[in-house]
Amino acid sequence: MNDMILAVENLRKTYGGVTAVDGITFAVQAGEIVGLLGPNGAGKTTTIDMILGIVEPSGGMIRVFGQDFRTHRAVILARVNFAAVYAHLPGNTTVRQNLFIFGLLYGVSHLRERIAALLKEFNLEKLARTKTGLLSSGEQSRVHLAKALLNEPKLLLMDEPTASIDPSDSEIIREKIKTYAKQNRAAVLWTSHDMYEIESVCDRVLFISHGKIVLEGDPRELPALYGKKNLEELFIAVAREPLSLHVSV
């Protein structure tokens, strides 16, 4: 139980009459990378946003490091971080300035040294004084990742971190995160539409459809278990006929 980083119980989110997340329950252990898969609108981002505290759940419970998110928000978020394709850092401040501001917000100790180390690790030293909005997609993704690792989070949420960047930069990001999770025993929740990426990174995947978890397991074993050639074929089946697939288990 000490290895449990994130525990989500019966989590629900409704917008008016529309149910975005419908009572999902799952957990992520220390050092584990869990993929959250599903078609657009399945509820992946809403789930991540609820864990980040920027969307209020309609019901259920989120526990991080064994603490209730509702009552320990600031303490929990100091040890959580994220990178998402839709959450750009302000473009009108430089890379170093952005890292400095967020370092203050996350209470990073020895901030200047930490920023210097991250700039070096993500090959951003020459871009440190460049306004973030002037960077290419790949460079911005590296900056987002540097920001995501600033506070050495024990829970890292990655919402399509490699979307719209080239295979080379994607590979770098995947390797960095895998290494980080193993070395720091950090839990990672990762969404992507790239099934190759999911197979190469994730220890376990959760398929979400219509706000519910319909499948769960090892991404390298699941396709065969459901009579599919690969993870992509399984994804398409889940996206198109989730209920029939669920029943056939």
Binding site for other proteins (CB under 8 A): 13, 15, 45-46, 49, 52-56, 73-75, 77-78, 80, 82, 84, 86-94, 97, 100-102, 104-107, 131, 147
Q: How far apart are CA 167 and CA 147, in angstroms?
A: 21
116: amino acid identity, one letter? A
Nearer to other proteins, 100 or 226 (CB): 100
Q: How far apart are CA 99 and CA 130, in angstroms?
A: 12
Nearer to other proteins, 99 or 222 (CB): 99
Q: How far apart are CA 94 and CA 135, in angstroms?
A: 10
Question: Strand, coil or helix: what is 54?
Answer: coil
Q: Say if CB 215 and CB 245 are below 8 A apart.
A: yes
Q: Say if CB 70 and CB 135 are below 8 A apart.
A: no
Question: Please, what is the minimum distance in Å from the beta carbon of residue 75 to other proteins?
Answer: 8
DSSP-derived letter for residue 100 is H
The helix (run of H) or strand (run of E) holding residue 224 is: helix 222-225
Q: Say if CB 10 and CB 59 are below 8 A apart.
A: yes
Nearer to other proteins, 48 or 201 (CB): 48
Question: Please, what is the minimum distance in Å from the beta carbon of residue 76 to other proteins?
Answer: 8
CB crowding 176-213: b at 16 or more within 10 Å, else e = bbbebbeeeebbbbbbbbbbebbbebbbbbbbbbbbbb
Question: Please, what is the minimum distance in Å from the beta carbon of residue 54 to other proteins?
Answer: 5
Nearer to other proteins, 87 or 128 (CB): 87
Question: Please, what is the minimum distance in Å from the beta carbon of residue 223 to other proteins?
Answer: 32
Nearer to other proteins, 154 or 223 (CB): 154
Question: Please, what is the minimum distance in Å from the beta carbon of residue 20 to other proteins?
Answer: 8
Query: At 54, phi and psi to the nearest 5?
Result: -100, 0
Question: Please, what is the minimum distance in Å from the beta carbon of residue 153 to other proteins?
Answer: 11
Nearer to other proteins, 104 or 224 (CB): 104
